[in-house]
Amino acid sequence: MKKVCLQFKKPQFCTLCNKDLKFKYKPDKSWNITGYLCSDCHMKTTKDFVIKQKEEEEKINKKQNLCFICNNHIDPEKKKKPRWQWNMDSDIFLCEKCYDQKELAYQTKINFCVHCGKKIGFVRYNPKPQWKVDGQLCRQCWDTINVSQN
């Protein structure tokens, strides 16, 4: 004759409301809850989590319809992404006015001498890092700064 050992299960309780569990529901990892939940707590937590996700999605959509610089609302057809040369985040958008201003400032920085404002020709002179000058220099300004720094 075989001996059958009957082990009784230790009663388990809901992590949130401390109810005795007939059926246990495992919470999602993103909820940061350890243990098991009863059906009521699981439904409530799921509902809260879904509402929270929808609010975050709405916030992201709202952010995508605002200009990063002036925070004005942008029509979806008129929003523009910044150029990669401007060193801005890739997930932002600009209105036409701010985009044009940024483009004009960038073209000025690239095509004109930062020191004297003269239009730069084909040959461009980049400042040395220790000069802490942001932009291009013409030959005369580069020579002048180089002589004064040495």
The predicted-structure confidence for 87-105, as pLDDT tens digits, reads as follows 888 788 888 999 999 999 9
Q: What is the pLDDT of residue 5?
A: 53
Residue written as token pair 């020191």: 115
| d(C-alpha 112, C-alpha 1), whole Å | 100
Q: In sequence order, what are the residues at sequence separation of 6 or more whose Cβ sits closer than 8 angstroms to the Cβ of residue 111?
A: 119, 120, 136
* Residue 17: Cβ-neighbour burial (10 angstroms; 0-12, 13-18, 19+): exposed
pLDDT single digits (tens) 52-88: 999 988 877 777 788 888 888 888 788 888 888 888 8
Share of the chain above pLDDT 70, in %: 92
The pLDDT, as a whole number, for residue 99 is 92
Q: What is the dihedral of CA 34, 36, 41, 46, to 10 degrees?
A: 70
The mean pLDDT of the chain is 85
Distance of CA 108 to the CA centre of its chain: 29
pLDDT at 9: 65
Given the structure tokens 């013409």, which residue do they identify?
138
Ramachandran sector of residue 62 (left: φ over 0; alpha: ψ -120 to 50; beta: rest): alpha
pLDDT the model gives residue 7: 55
